[in-house]
Amino acid sequence: MKCGYCGNNLNIEDKFCPYCGKENTFAKEHQESMEHYYADYTATKEDVYEETRRFKTKTIRITILAVMIAVAAGLFILAMSADDLRYSRMQKSIEANSGKYKAEINALMDARDYLAVDEYFDAKHISYSTPMEEYYAVEQASNYYAYYYGNILELLERNLEDGSINHFRTTNEILTDIGKNIGKINEACKVEKWYEERGCYTPEKMAYMDDLQAQVAVLAQAYLGISEEDAEQLSTMSEARIIVMLEDSYNG
């Protein structure tokens, strides 16, 4: 480029003409443009670096989260598969031994050992298993009878104490549980289509459950203070009525 004053050649970086000493206006404009460009370039570069750092940090977090979710899902699926496999094996084992189990349960039923029937299902891990579905009603009635029996023992033990022991539950709370358990026993002994279709109400099983309900009435009359007339009606009462009757009889 040439100097605008003397016409000699200049470099664009020369601030002053080396020949006439005049200011090189083009150099000044160029310098300002370069400084502005450099400032914009530096700011843009820093923005890019910052966005890159944020993106990397976010990407790392998302990747870690995705890996954790994938691992958790894998473990869950593995656990479910293991549970399914374990359940399947257990059902096959129960099915293979169902003949023996049924014979032993029938013997306990014949002996009218209601607590032993409940304990047997639990000890053999056959509660509500498909191969033993014909005993669902018997098992349910026996299970609630065990709770009922345990609640009566709790009341009897309380009566033998000197009253200095602080109990977690009140007498009425125990009586409420007793009433609920009697109601559940009555429900289990009531014929329902779903249970009937699975052979739950054969004559032998119905006789067992009838005697179980009779035993419930005997214990209620002996230890809970209900009258003979109420004891005879116990199997037909609603749960709410049973609870009110027990509270009135026992506390009165």
Q: At what angle do helices 98-110 and 114-123 cross, to 10 degrees?
A: 160
pLDDT for position 248: 93
The answer to whether the CB of 184 falls within 8 A of the CB of 140 is yes
More confident residue, 63 or 219: 219
pTM to 2 decimal places: 0.65
**Any idea which of 1-5, 213-217, 236-240, 244-248 has the lowest mean pLDDT?**
1-5
Q: What is the dihedral of CA 238, 234, 108, 115, to 10 degrees?
A: 70
Confidence of residue 91 (pLDDT cuts 50, 70, 90): confident
User: Does the pLDDT value for residue 38 go beyond 60?
Assistant: no
d(CA 15, CA 10): 9
User: Does the pLDDT value for residue 125 go beyond 80?
Assistant: yes
The domain limits of the chain are 97-251
Confidence of residue 43 (pLDDT cuts 50, 70, 90): low
The answer to whether the CB of 23 falls within 8 A of the CB of 12 is no
Q: Looking at residues 23-36, what average pLDDT do you find? A: 64
pLDDT, tens only, 141-178: 999 999 999 999 999 888 777 665 666 788 999 999 99
User: Does the pLDDT value for residue 26 go beyond 60?
Assistant: yes
Confidence of residue 19 (pLDDT cuts 50, 70, 90): confident
